[in-house]
């Protein structure tokens, strides 16, 4: 059933914007097959923004069949140049509508408008442009072979790729999937988080406006146990790419094995250590550490929820970091000076508070924070624990909130050992003026990304992914092209049969 599904949303400023809220299938916004819808909540006010169509397994089937047809009959026949042109056109349109995109994202996700516009969407556009440049440069290689043979390889798309993204960076995560998937010549069925469906639906409208053929990109709003599970188990999807928690990632890996043994890319959680040595630039280390904890309300997979400070500067660092954390502007995402917005939902708010309670019960010292900020919205005050040990829950589990623990260390060997005492391996940081030490520690830390004298920087040309239980495969960089293509070997005989 077709419907324009366009709804008006009134912003805090009084301005009204229109958003399509249907399932985006075959370049149209349509109702779900069973007609179900669900509400999306403004985490700043705890009030309903609007409702969107809810995808079921039947809707996933429909989208996959359309994506297969688009791949076979249209998209695989597009040249790399033409794919690049369309992806760049999408980036152009996002630049044109950047204020509206940032507004929708802030409303639905709770992130400060200024940070969404200047960080999240800027990185999103950069990601599309970066991968667009590879669309006509996905090459195989000529292999060394016998004189009477000609051997070479080709990189070819999978066909239909399923993508499932999280709610913490809806626009950027969408780009990190769509950009390389489309660049490599695949079609896609993407499911957004039920917490943050709106910005992806705005991008869907821009995808249509950019001129992408029907069925190449299909975007579904829905829940993990239904639409997400249908994607993971689908027999016609050849690759699934997921960003989210370790338990869900494991269930997707199992579903891939139990269905058609589809290829899997998983970007999962982290418990990233930030290691600060006595020779570090103290003020810079404090600023970056603060960014590494409280940016995005602590709701990002590489957040430094463990900060290790060398004992000789521990007291000085702690005092300066505490002062900066206490000065963090928490509140309305649409106020220019706001740095930290709300948590995404009541569920996430309660989860973070339970971690805080566990820290107190297990003997950690609550230095600041640990409580709700205000009476409306899912706000939590910036929180710092000290006097922790590696057995505590807050030192082992991903909190995904504005909470960190600061601990002392004396030697390099000691801090590397502590850094590895979790199941994660997504990221880490080192602050020191000694480049030899920085390079040595970078080589010894078991993590997919190491930052030196900075924290949380993103560049689309850098591979991103984790060691251990933090994931499988890499997103970002030229390496991502290998995730969304299959390698074919071609051997050409130039001589007569001689066996």
Q: Given phi > 0 = left and psi -120 to 50 = alpha, else beta, which region is 224?
A: alpha
Could you give the residue ranges of the DSSP H alpha helices within 282-331? 282-294, 314-326
3-state secondary structure of 230: helix
In terms of Cα–Cα distance, which of 207, 193, 220 is closest to 24? 220
Distance from C-alpha of 179 to C-alpha of 198, rounded to nearest angstrom: 19
267 counts as catalytic: yes
Place of tokens 């940070």: 115
Closest CA to 261 of 269, 248, 252: 252
What is the distance between the alpha carbons of residues 53 and 5, in angstroms, rounded to a whole number? 9
Q: Would you say how long the chain is, in residues?
A: 499
**CA dist., res. 451 & res. 329, Å (int):** 26
Question: Are the C-beta atoms of 22 and 8 separated by less than 8 Å?
Answer: no
Among the listed residues 267, 398, 475, 483, the single catalytic one is: 267
C-alpha 66/C-alpha 214 separation (Å) is 8
Distance CA 303, CA 397 (A): 12
Q: CA angle at residue 162 from 300 to 65, to 5 degrees? A: 155
Closest-CA residue to 313 (of 279, 267, 262, 356): 279
Query: Which neighbouring-strand residues pair with 243?
Result: 267
Q: Where are the beta strands (DSSP E) in 410-484?
A: 427-431, 449-452, 471-472
Number of helical (H) and strand (E) elements in the chain, helices listed first: 16, 22
What's the CA gap between 55 and 38, in Å, rounded? 10
Could you tell me if 434 and 277 are in contact, meaning their C-beta atoms sit under 8 angstroms apart? yes
Q: What are phi and psi of 383, to 5 degrees?
A: -125, 135
Catalytic residues: 267
């Amino acid at each position: 059933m077709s419907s324009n599904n366009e709804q008006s949303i009134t912003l805090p400023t009084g301005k009204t914007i229109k958003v399509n809220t249907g399932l985006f299938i075959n370049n149209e916004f349509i109702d779900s097959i069973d007609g179900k819808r669900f509400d999306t909540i403004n985490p700043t006010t705890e009030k309903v923004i609007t409702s969107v169509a809810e995808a079921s397994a039947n809707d996933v089937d429909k989208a996959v069949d359309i994506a297969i047809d688009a791949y076979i009959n249209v998209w695989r026949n597009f040249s790399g140049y033409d794919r690049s042109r369309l992806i760049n056109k999408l980036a152009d349109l996002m630049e044109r509508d950047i204020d509206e995109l940032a507004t929708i994202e802030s409303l639905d996700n709770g992130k400060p408008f200024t940070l969404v516009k200047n960080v999240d969407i800027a990185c999103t556009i950069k990601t599309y442009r970066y991968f667009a440049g590879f669309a006509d440069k996905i090459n195989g290689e000529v292999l060394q072979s016998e004189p009477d043979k000609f051997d070479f390889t080709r990189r070819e798309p999978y066909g239909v790729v399923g993508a499932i993204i999280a709610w913490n960076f809806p626009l950027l995560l969408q780009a990190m999937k769509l950009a390389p998937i489309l660049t490599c010549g695949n079609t896609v069925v993407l499911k957004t988080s039920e917490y943050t469906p709106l910005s992806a639906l705005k991008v869907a409208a821009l995808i249509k406006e950019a001129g992408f053929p029907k069925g190449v990109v299909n975007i579904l709003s829905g829940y993990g146990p239904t639409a997400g599970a249908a994607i993971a188990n689908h027999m016609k999807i050849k690759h699934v790419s997921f960003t989210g928690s370790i338990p869900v990632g494991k269930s997707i890996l199992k579903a891939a094995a139990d269905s058609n043994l589809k290829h899997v890319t998983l970007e999962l959680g982290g418990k990233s250590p930030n290691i600060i040595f006595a020779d570090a630039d103290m003020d810079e280390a404090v600023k970056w550490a603060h960014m590494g904890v409280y940016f995005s309300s602590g709701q990002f997979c590489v957040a430094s929820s463990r900060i290790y400070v060398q004992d000789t500067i521990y007291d000085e660092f702690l005092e300066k970091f505490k002062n900066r954390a206490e000065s963090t502007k928490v509140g309305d995402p649409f106020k220019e000076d706001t740095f930290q917005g709300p948590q995404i939902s009541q569920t996430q708010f309660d989860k973070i508070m339970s971690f805080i309670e566990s820290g107190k019960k297990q003997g950690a010292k609550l230095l600041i924070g640990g409580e709700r900020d205000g009476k409306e919205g899912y706000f939590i005050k910036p929180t710092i624990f000290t006097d922790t040990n590696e057995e505590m829950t807050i030192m082992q589990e991903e909190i995904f909130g504005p909470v960190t623990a600061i601990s002392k260390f004396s030697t390099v060997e000691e801090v590397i050992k502590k850094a590895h005492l979790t199941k994660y391996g997504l990221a880490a940081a080192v602050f020191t003026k000694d480049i030899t030490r920085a390079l040595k520690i970078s080589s010894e830390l078991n993590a997919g990304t190491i930052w030196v004298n900075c924290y949380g920087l993103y560049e689309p040309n850098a591979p991103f992914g984790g060691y251990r239980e933090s994931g499988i495969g890499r997103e970002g960089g030229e390496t991502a092209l290998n995730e969304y293509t299959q390698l074919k070997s071609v051997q050409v005989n130039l001589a007569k049969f001689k066996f």
